[in-house]
Amino acid sequence: MSEKIGVYVCHCGTNIAGTVDVKGVAEWAAEHLKHRGVVIGRDYKFMCSSLGQELVENDIKELGLTRVIVAACSPHLHEKTFRTACERAGLNPYLCEMVSIREQVSWVHTDKVAATEKSKAAISGGVERVIHNEPLEPIQVPIHADTLVVGGGIAGIQAALEIADAGYHVCLVEREPSIGGHMAQFDKTFPTLDCAACILTPKMVEVGAHPNITLLTWSEVEKVDGFVGNFKATIRKKASYVNTDSCTGCGICWEKCPKKVVDDVFEAGMGIRKAIYRPFAQAVPKYPVMDVENCTYFKNSKCKACQLFCPTEPNSINFEQKDEILEVQAGNIILATGYDLFDATRIPQYGYGKLPNVFTSLEFERMCNAAGPTEGKIVLRDMKTAPKSVVVVHCVGSRDENYNKYCSSICCMQSLKFAHLVMERTGAEVYNCYIDIRTPSKDYEEFYKRVLEEGGHFIRGKVAEITDAARIPEEEGKLIVQVEDTLIGKQRRIPVDMVILSAGLEPRHDAKEVGKLFGIACGASGWYTERHPKLDPVATMTDGVYIAGCVQGPKDIPASVVQGAAAAARVLGKIQQGVISLEPIRASINKDQCSGCRICNGLCPFNAIAYIEDDNVSDINPALCQGCGTCVAACPAGAISGTGFSNEQIIAQIDGLLLRNLEPAGV
């Protein structure tokens, strides 16, 4: 055995020494694992103290240790400490392993003998493992200074502006014809009742005009190759059939377009647009797009009214335009693709879609908006009658075992806002049916108080049913909301003119597929999983891919803005570093042994494994590989090996833990 291994057993005061015979364990290792290369076994009060670290450093220098085992707390706490100490003494840090005998032994066991024996086994396993450790170097990756931001809602806008203002180039990709996202559809924002458009549109304009931002609307990311520092995104810019070089956005084309279409997206089905359209007046960019599904020309080769009336020279309407495929290089990616609104038709007892005067929150937002289908008038579905009484139903699809278990976070405040707007604009009686009122942010509780003082009624109870089946004459012609008022313990039937369903937020219907594209995961509720829920909320498990806004979970506008800015800060930090180093825990394929069976190809969620047809082998991109080791375990030919967690290391550790390494006499 040519290795010289040092074993250090920490007392951690009495944390370990109280349950484990640390001195005995250190002596045992020195004696019984001598034949495995252990040349020194020491115990020390606090290994993580500077004196403890020096102990290791001195032994490396004086005894020429080639491997180090520190039996102490969890490696999650001090692995870095001891690896750095080894590095200071000239030993490759990856030749040091920690063995946890505190969290996994002394703190969880009471029997001193058993705890001591388990510590010995753990150290024996560690020694066998570390023999097979290889010296490793962190992987250095240069960072491309451009950033790809996907999603042009408020979070994406904020992120793009922060980065662009810092002097770096951003490519902002948006699926719809305009940026602005959900926020552009709202009328007022809680709790200050700022006009959403007033605060959002200046930012949209700034994005459109920013010299550091390339704006790709009506575009979607189709493919992402590469890895942190060096992504290559393939983007489909859908044909808009409008030549943006000559178009001035004058609006004559959609004025003249004879085809009216119900706008399901921006107007939430409440309004009409044309087949060639710009979703709203302040849209950025200002150019319209052609909806080929509905365009008369595309349907039966007749019409061309838009082209006929287009006043620009040359004519801006181009029916021959094709989708463009663009490639964008980026060092980092921020995903801010937002949310879908919960589909209220999934709760049939609430009658949405059948009872005309049951509205969703988004429909109501459009109704309130001065630029919306009713020019801001709150009216029933007949578009003229103002309601005299309204119920706002909270938690629609949220906090519900049958739909989404989570709280959608914005609905309480949104519902309070609705109540306020109804009362302000119509003087109607408003009933809020809620499970709990949650107003945890600044000035939110005050807004709740204000709505109470304005005369809003609050009923604590989950609405059971909304029906038009009257039981008494007063209910005739009304919507009857059946709810248990749990504060007074009574069933109530509230006859009203209008019901607003405060629908919850849901992950985008295609969140999973989009996540796969970018190599990130959805949690149990379907929102993208952050690297750490508290300490790293905008990073993901894929280096270089960040999330901001509602993709990470339901949140309101201020929180989305904060995340957009936070993601931008993280990206700027990466760009500033220029080069980043990655943990060298990676898989690699021995091409001689690889049979090209392609079984590993389907296993990597990070798209790190590519099949090279010409050589009939698969290959792993080390910068994309995250080091999970799944392909290593899966390769039927045993052709894939993993640094840091190799087969040899783990098999040796198994044998060590089972004390198969002891000489018969030593048992």
What residues from 92 to 151 belong to the interface with another protein (CB under 8 A)? Answer: 100, 102-105, 107-111, 114-115, 117-118, 121-122, 125
Q: For another protein, which is the closer residue by CB, 14 or 349?
A: 14
What are the two backbone dihedrals, phi and then psi, of residue 434, each rounded to the nearest 5 degrees?
-130, 160
Give the pairing type, strands 545-547 and 332-335: parallel
What are the two backbone dihedrals, phi and then psi, of residue 294, each rounded to the nearest 5 degrees?
-110, -10
Q: What is the smallest separation between the CB atom of 111 and another protein, expressed in angstroms?
A: 7
Of 92, 321, 588, 601, the residue at the interface with another protein (CB under 8 A) is 601
Footprint of another protein on residues 4-23 (CB under 8 A)? none
| Contact present, 356 and 381 (Cβ < 8 Å) | yes
Footprint of another protein on residues 471-530 (CB under 8 A)? 515-516, 519-524, 529
Q: What is the smallest separation between the CB atom of 637 and another protein, expressed in angstroms?
A: 4
Q: For another protein, which is the closer residue by CB, 126 or 153?
A: 126
Q: For another protein, which is the closer residue by CB, 79 or 162?
A: 79
Footprint of another protein on residues 612-651 (CB under 8 A)? 616, 626-630, 632-639, 642, 644-645, 647, 650-651
* Residue 553 engages another protein in binding (rule: CB under 8 A): no
Q: For another protein, which is the closer residue by CB, 365 or 530?
A: 530
Q: What is the smallest separation between the CB atom of 606 and another protein, expressed in angstroms?
A: 8
Q: What is the smallest separation between the CB atom of 501 and another protein, expressed in angstroms?
A: 28
Q: For another protein, which is the closer residue by CB, 484 or 583?
A: 583
Q: What is the smallest separation between the CB atom of 423 and another protein, expressed in angstroms?
A: 43
Q: For another protein, which is the closer residue by CB, 235 or 639?
A: 639
* Residue 598 engages another protein in binding (rule: CB under 8 A): yes
DSSP class of residue 589?
A: E
587 φψ region: left (φ > 0), alpha (ψ -120 to 50), beta (else): beta
Q: What is the smallest separation between the CB atom of 220 and another protein, expressed in angstroms?
A: 21
Structure tokens at 659: 């004390």
Q: What is the smallest separation between the CB atom of 512 and another protein, expressed in angstroms?
A: 10
- Output the CA–CA distances (angstroms, integers) from residue 445 to 193, 394, 546, in the order listed: 14, 16, 32
Nearest CA to 267 out of 196, 140, 360 is that of 360
Distance, in Å, from the CA atom of 603 to the CA atom of 581, rounded to the nearest integer, reads 25
Structure tokens at 295: 């365009």
Of 322, 602, 663, 666, the residue at the interface with another protein (CB under 8 A) is 602
Q: For another protein, which is the closer residue by CB, 218 or 518?
A: 518
Q: For another protein, which is the closer residue by CB, 360 or 641?
A: 641
Structure tokens at 560: 């989305």
Q: State the residue for tokens 């392909």.
A: 631
Q: What is the smallest separation between the CB atom of 642 and another protein, expressed in angstroms?
A: 7
- Output the CA–CA distances (angstroms, integers) from residue 513 to 221, 223, 532, 587, 597, in the order listed: 11, 11, 22, 25, 25
| Contact present, 481 and 359 (Cβ < 8 Å) | no
Q: For another protein, which is the closer residue by CB, 76 or 346?
A: 76
Q: What is the smallest separation between the CB atom of 541 and another protein, expressed in angstroms?
A: 5
Footprint of another protein on residues 21-80 (CB under 8 A)? 74-76
Cα dihedral sign, 129-134-135-138: negative
Q: What is the smallest separation between the CB atom of 522 and another protein, expressed in angstroms?
A: 7
**Residue 664 CB neighbours (<10 A):** 5
Nearest CA to 406 out of 514, 512, 523, 484 is that of 523
* Residue 541 engages another protein in binding (rule: CB under 8 A): yes
Footprint of another protein on residues 421-480 (CB under 8 A)? none
Of 594, 620, 623, 624, the residue at the interface with another protein (CB under 8 A) is 594
Kind plus residue range of the DSSP H or E element containing 300: helix 296-300
Task: Show Cβ contacts of residue 640 under 8 Å, excluding neighbours closer than 6 positions.
Answer: 587, 588, 589, 590, 594, 600, 620, 631, 632, 634
* Residue 370 engages another protein in binding (rule: CB under 8 A): no
Q: What is the smallest separation between the CB atom of 84 and another protein, expressed in angstroms?
A: 19
Q: What is the smallest separation between the CB atom of 81 and another protein, expressed in angstroms?
A: 16
Structure tokens at 93: 């840090």
Q: What is the smallest separation between the CB atom of 602 and another protein, expressed in angstroms?
A: 4
Of 61, 388, 593, 666, the residue at the interface with another protein (CB under 8 A) is 593
Burial of 638 (0-12, 13-18, 19+ CB in 10 A): exposed
* Residue 605 engages another protein in binding (rule: CB under 8 A): yes
Kind plus residue range of the DSSP H or E element containing 630: helix 630-634
Q: For another protein, which is the closer residue by CB, 129 or 570?
A: 129
Nearest CA to 248 out of 211, 273, 278 is that of 278
Q: For another protein, which is the closer residue by CB, 216 or 608?
A: 608
DSSP line for 56-72? HHHHHHHH--SEEEEEE
* Residue 415 engages another protein in binding (rule: CB under 8 A): no
> Rg for the chain (alpha carbons), in Å?
32
* Residue 603 engages another protein in binding (rule: CB under 8 A): yes
Q: For another protein, which is the closer residue by CB, 153 or 515?
A: 515
Q: What is the smallest separation between the CB atom of 624 and another protein, expressed in angstroms?
A: 12
Burial of 87 (0-12, 13-18, 19+ CB in 10 A): middle
Nearest CA to 20 out of 127, 123, 105, 124 is that of 105
* Residue 588 engages another protein in binding (rule: CB under 8 A): no
DSSP line for 468-535? ---SSGGGTTSEEEEEEETTTTEEEEEEESEEEEEE-EEE-TTHHHHHHHHT--B-TTSSBPPSBTTT
Helix, strand or coil, per DSSP, at residue 442: coil
226 φψ region: left (φ > 0), alpha (ψ -120 to 50), beta (else): left
Q: For another protein, which is the closer residue by CB, 321 or 647?
A: 647
Q: For another protein, which is the closer residue by CB, 30 or 597?
A: 597
* Residue 240 engages another protein in binding (rule: CB under 8 A): no
Structure tokens at 495: 């006859």
Q: For another protein, which is the closer residue by CB, 20 or 390?
A: 20
Kind plus residue range of the DSSP H or E element containing 119: helix 112-131
Footprint of another protein on residues 176-235 (CB under 8 A)? none
Stretch that binds another protein, among 244-252, 484-492, 493-501, 605-613 (CB under 8 A): 605-613
Q: What is the smallest separation between the CB atom of 364 and another protein, expressed in angstroms?
A: 34
Footprint of another protein on residues 264-323 (CB under 8 A)? none
* Residue 592 engages another protein in binding (rule: CB under 8 A): yes
DSSP class of residue 95?
A: G
Q: By CB under 8 A, how many residues form the interface with another protein?
A: 72
Nearest CA to 399 out of 448, 350, 342, 348 is that of 342
Q: What is the smallest separation between the CB atom of 137 and another protein, expressed in angstroms?
A: 18
Q: For another protein, which is the closer residue by CB, 345 or 595?
A: 595
